[in-house]
Amino acid sequence: MAKQNITPRAEDYAQWYIDVVLQSKLADYAPVKGCMVIRPNGYGLWENIQKTLDEMFKETGHENAYFPLLIPESFLKKEAEHVEGFAPELAVMTHAGGKKLEEPYVLRPTSETIIWSTYKKWIQSYRDLPILINQWANVFRWEMRTRLFLRTTEFLWQEGHTAHATFEEAEEETLKMLGVYRNFAENFMAMPVYVGKKTNKEKFAGAVTTYCIEPMMQDKKALQAGTSHNLGQNFAKAFDVTFQTKEGKLEHVFATSWGVSTRLIGGIVMAHSDDNGLVIPPKLSVIQAVWIPIFNKDNQEKITGKVKELTQTWKNEGIKFKIDDRDNYKPGWKFNEWELQGVPLRIELGPKDLEQNQVVIARRDTNEKVAVSFENVTQTVKNLLVTIQNDLFTKALNFRNDNTFVTDDYKFMLKKSDEDNGFYKIHWCGNRACEDNLQEMGKITIRCIPLNNEQENGKCIVCGEASKERVIAAKSY
């Protein structure tokens, strides 16, 4: 066989993505439309994502709980905007136990309604607040068009649901979790993100304010990678959740919700990978370094023995590694296989190296190879893992900056966006009509209004009305 048969990015980006996901064994298609099997490679990544985020949630005072998958249909209908937003994508259970159900159950598209119906029972006084709960769960959204990890009918996520005594406290929580997401995206996924507020058109159905993180993928489109909502009193009012204040007054509770999903895995693929397959940031990689001993029958024992000796301390050092000593595959085959699966470092040890007391270390992200003496292997590997993590971020940041354009010329933007994707920093008057026009004319949406945005007087790129700041606009997933 030639090399792997991954469609090059330049030729067909969408097909490249599918090829990488399937061939690197992240996922496989399932028998049901829009569903996928998350394979060990993909699930291992998800477990690392979960583990890291879960610690961050705990550190910020949250606890995990679990609410049921099935939600009475009537619950969804209690919050008008909410039901309107989700109605088209609901999967509904109508029969059970061989009978038609009195009231259909909805497979949760998100859990605000069932959680707030429960919080009603738990909250009486300001002393019961705040409630800071997260749940790891699956959700169902019947999407018209699905894509592995990016949009599937069933997906895994976490959803935080908190209850507070004041709007300010809810807002603080919303922004705090947005910060957690930003930290995770940038420092673990090595994916620079714009952090900002959604427009009314783009916000969550039922939220007062939606905040988000938006990274750029390698095709220069935006991916909504995480959202954090200040729900105000909308759900508390819909479910009549009130509490008694210190002063004895009855008030509706303030809510937030925030989530990231297995879509992040699609983000990792699209942010860093190349035509040879996956590239995974070291901090999230299930295997950080793979050893490929190069041997024949005569020296096999000697060489694998040396590898074991050199890695004796690695478990304690916290380096996640694997020794690929299969004798039914040749080294060259293994090189390609592990590259395809995105392992950050490959370490070769063959007879020639043994003679010279060295190993050869190859970086997945740059393909660079260096010879390193036995005594320096451990430290070099540790350093390289840090370097790769940083380099991936820098590379992605430079890529985003190179493809972000500040413009006041609508025609230029539409023309440019027609030829190639990119982020545009544009003035916008704040009106829905102009936002709709962007979408109609260029399939461009306003991804966010950046937080701590530089204030600058300008004119809306569509209508020319006054604007005080620039927003991020782009085509998106």
Partner RNA sequence: CGGGACAUAGCGCAGUUCGGUUAGCGCGCCUGCCUUGGGAGCAGGAGGCCGCAGGUUCAAAUCCUGCUGUCCCGACCA
Contact positions with RNA (CB under 7 A) in 356-385? 360, 362, 367, 369
Residues 6+ apart with CB under 8 A from 184: 49, 52, 53, 56, 260
Contacts (CB under 7 A) with RNA, residues 205-224: 205, 224
Stretch that binds RNA, among 11-19, 187-195, 399-407, 410-418 (CB under 7 A): 11-19
Contacts (CB under 7 A) with RNA, residues 30-59: 31-35
Q: How far is CA 151 from its chain centroid?
A: 12
20 binds RNA (CB under 7 A): no
Contacts (CB under 7 A) with RNA, residues 442-471: 443
351 binds RNA (CB under 7 A): yes
The DSSP bridge pattern shows strands 404-406 and 423-427 to be parallel
Least Å distance, CB 340 to RNA, is 6
DSSP assigned state of 2? -
Q: Is 96 exposed, middle or buried (0-12, 13-18, 19+ CB in 10 A)?
A: exposed
420 binds RNA (CB under 7 A): no
352 binds RNA (CB under 7 A): yes
Compare residues 219 and 391 and give the one whose CB is closer to RNA. Answer: 219
Compare residues 126 and 184 and give the one whose CB is closer to RNA. Answer: 184
Least Å distance, CB 304 to RNA, is 12
Compare residues 146 and 162 and give the one whose CB is closer to RNA. Answer: 146
Residues 6+ apart with CB under 8 A from 379: none
Joined tokens for residue 216: 């750029």
336 binds RNA (CB under 7 A): yes
Compare residues 358 and 467 and give the one whose CB is closer to RNA. Answer: 358
Contacts (CB under 7 A) with RNA, residues 109-138: none
| Cis, bond preceding 130 (omega within 30 deg of 0) | yes
348 binds RNA (CB under 7 A): yes
323 binds RNA (CB under 7 A): no
158 binds RNA (CB under 7 A): no
Cα dihedral value 311, 315, 317, 321, nearest 10: 60
155 binds RNA (CB under 7 A): yes
Least Å distance, CB 209 to RNA, is 14
* Dihedral of alpha carbons 354, 370, 21, 190, sign: positive
Compare residues 69 and 252 and give the one whose CB is closer to RNA. Answer: 69
Stretch that binds RNA, among 75-83, 116-124, 152-160, 415-423 (CB under 7 A): 152-160
Least Å distance, CB 154 to RNA, is 7
Extended beta strands in 39-171, E state: 63-64, 70-72, 91-96, 99-107, 131-140, 154-164
The SS3 call for residue 314 is helix
Asked if residue 281 lies in contact with residue 187, where contact means CB atoms within 8 angstroms, the answer is no
φ and ψ of 93, to 5 deg = -95, 125
Compare residues 59 and 298 and give the one whose CB is closer to RNA. Answer: 298
